[in-house]
Amino acid sequence: MIIAAAVYLFGGLAALATLLMLFQRDPVKAAMLMLAALLSTAGLYLALSAQLLAALQIILYAGAIMTLFIVALTTTPAAWRDKPAKASFTKVLGLAAAAVILTELLKLSAALKTAAFSRAFSETGTLELARALFGRFAFQFELLSLVILASIVAAVALAASSGKPAVQPPAEKKEAA
């Protein structure tokens, strides 16, 4: 009963924050709403007895990734962040596509109505997860370090401000041609 209440509470909070993000014009306020959605998700993980995931969600998503977004917003001038009015047709098309996605997903998951979520709240989930990550999934887990290393190298190469820019402006290319 408590788990069900927590799922509804944190799921509702995350959905509300994401919905408000859709209508928020200020990108920094949108980032704060995203932070609220990510923290609500961490609560959802706690309700599902995934304590390590909840901690990782706060450290990685709400900490590291949100910091990256804030840095990206502060390093780009505000004049480039202004939003011109987009064609309403595109918005209607996007919302219609999202509605179709939701309808199809809910239709496909109708079979879950009879499936019971019977997992009891456990405090030893982290130990089992650690055993799985460093035992059964050790190779895959170590491969992830290569992914992270590649992304760090790519990010540093792309964002290095010294020297010539990584991306050439199209106008200059035309002149050179």
Partner 1 sequence: MSAYPLAAVSFVLFTLAAAGFLTCGSLVRMLMFLELMLNAANIALVALGPGTVSQAYAVMLFAIAAAEAGVGLALIIALAPVFKTLEAENIRELKG
For residues 52 and 128, what is the distance between their CA atoms, to the nearest angstrom?
Answer: 11
Those residues whose C-beta lies under 8 Å from the C-beta of residue 14, and which sit 6 or more positions away, are 36, 37, 40, 41, 44
Is there a contact between 63 and 26 (Cβ–Cβ < 8 Å)?
Answer: no
Does 52 interact with partner 1 (rule: CB under 8 A)? yes
* Nearest distance in Å: CB 62, partner 1: 11
Q: Find the binder of partner 1 among 89, 123, 167, 175 (CB under 8 A).
A: 167
User: Phi/psi class of residue 49: alpha, beta or left (left: φ > 0; alpha: ψ in -120 to 50)?
Assistant: left
Q: Find the binder of partner 1 among 58, 89, 97, 123 (CB under 8 A).
A: 97
For residues 102 and 96, what is the distance between their CA atoms, to the nearest angstrom?
Answer: 10
Q: What would the x/- binding string for partner 1 be over residues 19 to 48, using CB under 8 A?
A: x-xx----x--xx--x--xx--x--xx--x
Does 121 interact with partner 1 (rule: CB under 8 A)? no
Does 137 interact with partner 1 (rule: CB under 8 A)? yes
Query: Measured from the CB atom, is 167 or 175 closer to partner 1?
Result: 167
